[in-house]
Amino acid sequence: MTVAEPTPLQEQITLLELVDRVLHKGVVLTGDIMLSVADVDLVYVGLRVLLTSVATLDRLQAEGAA
Minimum Å gap between C-beta 18 and other proteins is: 4
Q: Is 13 exposed, middle or buried (0-12, 13-18, 19+ CB in 10 A)?
A: middle
Spatial separation of the C-alpha atoms in residues 20 and 49, rounded to whole Å: 12
Residues 5-64 binding other proteins (CB under 8 A) are 13-15, 17-19, 21-30, 33, 35-36, 38-39, 42, 54, 57-58, 61
Minimum Å gap between C-beta 63 and other proteins is: 13
Spatial separation of the C-alpha atoms in residues 17 and 20, rounded to whole Å: 5
Q: Is 66 in the site for other proteins (CB under 8 A)?
A: no
